[in-house]
Amino acid sequence: MKTLVKIPLMILCALLAFFAVTFTIYVFNLDMKATALLEPLLEKWYDDLPRDQYL
């Protein structure tokens, strides 16, 4: 019986935690802010790739 109560409770807690984390990321636009930090590093990566330029 205890397990039967425990499992839905754990699922509910996990869902609430998922909502709390993702909603915070969503509201404060943390996803895009973090991505914007990556951009200069990626630019450098792409600049360093060898290219076969051809016209």
Partner 1 sequence: MKTVEKIVNPVPRAGEQSPSKIYDPRLKVRARREWRGVKDTFYDYTRWLYLVSVLVRFIAVPRNVKGFFRYRWMMSYLFVMHGMDKFTIGLRDEALRITHTSFNYVIADVTEAISKCFRGDRRVGNDKEFSDRCVITDENSMVTFMMGFDRFKNPTILREVPTMFASNIFHQFNVMHYLDIAQEYGIPGDVCPMPEAEAGISIDDDFCVLGACAVQNNTTCDGSLMGNGIIAKRLERQYGIPTFQLATPLRHKEEDVLEYAAQEIKNAIAFVEKHTGAKWDWDLYFASAKRVNESTRCRIAQLEINSTPYPQFFGAAFSLYNDTNYMGNSGRNEDFIKIDHKLLELAEKGYREKRMYAKEYRHRCIIWGVQPQYTIDMLYWLLQCWGIVPLADMLSIINTDMIAEEDTPENREQAYRDMAMLNMEMIMRNHTHGGYKVLLDDLWELCEKMNADMVMMWEHMSCKALTGMHGMFEEQARERGIRLMWVSHDLCDPRVFTRSAIRDQVSAYMRTVLREEPLDPSLEHIPDDEAY
Question: Which residues contribute to the site for partner 1 (CB under 8 A)?
Answer: 22-23, 26-29, 31-33, 35-36, 38-39, 42-43, 45-46, 49, 51-55
Q: How far is the CB of 2 from partner 1 (least distance, A)?
A: 33
Give the DSSP H/E element, type plus range, for residue 46.
helix 30-48
Q: Which is nearer to partner 1, 6 or 45 (CB)?
A: 45
Would you state the structure tokens that stand for residue 29, as one six-digit string?
A: 């636009």
Q: How far is the CB of 17 from partner 1 (least distance, A)?
A: 15
How many Cα atoms are found within 13 Å in the side-chain-facing hemisphere of 14?
A: 6
